């Protein structure tokens, strides 16, 4: 390789993304939330999405047992929610931040859209695992513009 891990990370940061919080509740556990920006659409028919989870995440075991979760796309003014659920050891969902979605999965009702999902496949992806999931239900609230993440910083759409 002709580049360092730092250089690779910086280069990947050129690709602007949205920011999501993945929420769920294991059968025997408390509702949780985790901030991710690796979310991507995969397929329209069937409706599939993906995101990737660090293998060394404290949440790894949670996602091994909890195969239904929701992806909530944050609004431009929800940077605080992003930081809150990106903090290590602080993934328990604040009761003020969620409600049961159509399928019973906890969703964040103030976000732009919530996709309620069931894991369909997982693929090894180096130091991450790629979770592919089928969308069971969707609530598209469409009230605002998205929070963006680029070059390690939050951003919003101009204009």
Ligand X SMILES: Cc1cc2nc3c(=O)[nH]c(=O)nc-3n(C[C@H](O)[C@H](O)[C@H](O)COP(=O)(O)O)c2cc1C
Residues that bind ligand X (CB under 6 A): 19, 34-38, 51-54, 57-59, 82, 86, 88, 91, 149
3-state helix, strand, coil in the chain (%, to 5): 15, 45, 45
Minimal distance, residue 28 CB to ligand X, in Å: 19
Minimal distance, residue 100 CB to ligand X, in Å: 23
CB nearer to ligand X: pick between 39 and 139: 39
CB nearer to ligand X: pick between 60 and 104: 60
CB nearer to ligand X: pick between 29 and 104: 29
| CA angle centred on 129, ends 46 and 113, rounded to 5° | 50
CA 130, CA 151: separation in Å to the nearest integer? Answer: 22
CB nearer to ligand X: pick between 86 and 136: 86
Q: Could you tell me if 116 and 138 are in contact, meaning their C-beta atoms sit under 8 angstroms apart? A: yes
Phi-psi region of 116 (alpha: psi -120 to 50; beta: other; left: phi over 0): beta
CA 112, CA 149: separation in Å to the nearest integer? Answer: 16
Minimal distance, residue 80 CB to ligand X, in Å: 12
Minimal distance, residue 45 CB to ligand X, in Å: 25
Which residues does residue 56 pair with via DSSP β-bridges, in sequence order? none
């Amino acid at each position: 390789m002709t580049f360092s891990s730092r250089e690779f990370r910086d280069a990947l940061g050129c690709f602007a993304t949205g920011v999501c919080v993945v929420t769920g509740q294991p059968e025997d556990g408390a509702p949780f939330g985790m901030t991710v920006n690796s979310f991507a659409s995969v397929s329209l028919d069937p409706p599939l999405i993906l995101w990737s989870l660090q293998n060394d995440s404290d949440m790894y075991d949670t996602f091994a047992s909890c195969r239904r979760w929701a992806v909530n796309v944050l609004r431009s003014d929800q940077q605080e929610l992003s930081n809150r659920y990106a903090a290590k050891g602080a993934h328990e969902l604040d009761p003020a931040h969620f409600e049961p979605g159509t399928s019973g999965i906890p969703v964040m009702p103030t976000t732009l859209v919530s996709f309620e999902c069931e894991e369909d496949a997982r693929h090894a992806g180096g130091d991450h695992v790629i979770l592919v999931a089928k969308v069971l239900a969707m609530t598209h609230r469409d009230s605002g513009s998205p929070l963006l993440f680029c070059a390690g910083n939050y951003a919003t759409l101009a204009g």
